[in-house]
Amino acid sequence: MSPEFQPELHPDRNLAMELVRATEAAAIRAFPFIGKGDKNASDGAAVDAMRAFLGTVNFEGLVVIGEGEKDEAPMLFNGEVVGNGNGPKVDIAVDPIDGTSLTAAGRLNAISVIAAADRGSMLDASSVFKMDKFVTGAPGVGVCDIRMSIRENLIEYSKSAGKPVDEILVAILDREYNQDAIDQVRSAGAATRLLRDGDVAGGIQAARADSRIDMCIGVGGSPEGIVTACGVKALGGHIQGILAPREDFERERGTAAGLKFNYVYEMNEMVASDNTFFVATGVTDGPLVAGVRKRGEIIYTESIVIRGLSGTVRKVFAEYQASRWI
């Protein structure tokens, strides 16, 4: 993130509707691979489609969170500039498929996602793969804190939300390294929803007022944490993160990149601008958005578009002629 945040041009409301074309394209291109067992093929198709559509957008987007280093990812790599070069300069975080394993297996909750914010405002945490995150909706703002125990957070959230602890639902990635957090949630009397993958969708659901999920906690991807922060900030929710390197080389790379360890990144450090955009299209079905469907010659998509300045949440339903896509 730039030490001095001085955006030259601010992205406006139209940008969100341009970005959703790119997530729709990625989801549609991934559709033929759902349940076919080849996650690399689905991801490759989604990356190609997203990159092609981003190239037509009236902006200059710097990929802060992308597919990885240039040598490993020929497109949408960290540091790549996308767009037609006109219009606002923005930071973007992309995940053509958040949940490639879910897509390959035909499971729920795979999405295609893009987050954007004013240039220089998005934390680049890509050099460290994992982050311990704590996400809630508005009832957790000023109440919950990742430094507190899970039990304490559940009690305080319960008071703020007016909801008994035993009715609180906490989403957590189902990983061995999250087992202690899972046990703590259950021992405090709350319920868990274990996620196979896709903690971006889990975090956004936790921040939404109409969602069954109240919290999304535990260790997941650090790039996904920054993507989630853009949406959570727009929704008026709460997110904190602590980098969780698994290997010594990650700590060394993170230190070289200026990242902090044993440090709580607050929401405004994860994304400094209030002018954020979060756009996601369903690849497979899930509570956040429905997956791609094909009925005869028509392809149907469902997307969610969240804009930070206005706090607006829109659902976008689109129909495409299959003959022009597949």
Known binding residues for Mn(2+): 43, 67, 95, 98, 224
Whole-angstrom distance, CA of residue 34 vs CA of residue 308: 32
Extract the annotated binding site: 43, 67, 95, 98, 224
Whole-angstrom distance, CA of residue 258 vs CA of residue 287: 37
Contact 245, 130 (CB under 8 A): yes
Q: Are strands 191-195 and 169-173 parallel, antiparallel or unpaired?
A: parallel
SS (H, E, C) the chain: CCCCCCCCCCCCCHHHHHHHHHHHHHHHHHHHHCCCCCHHHHHHHHHHHHHHHHCCCCCEEEEEECCCCCCCCCCCCCCCEECCCCCCEEEEEEEEEECHHHHHHCCCCCEEEEEEEECCCECCCCCCCEEEEEEECHHHCCCCCCCCCHHHHHHHHHHHHCCCHHHCEEEEECCHHHHHHHHHHHHCCCEEEEECCCHHHHHHHHHCCCCCCCEEEEEEEHHHHHHHHHHHHHHCCEEEEEECCCCHHHHHHHHHCCCCCCCCEEHHHHECCCCCEEEEEECCCCCCCCCCEEECCEEEEEEEEEECCCCEEEEEEEEEEHHHCC
Through-space distance between the first and last CA atoms of the chain, rounded to whole angstroms: 39
> Any idea which residue has 């076919």 for tokens?
36
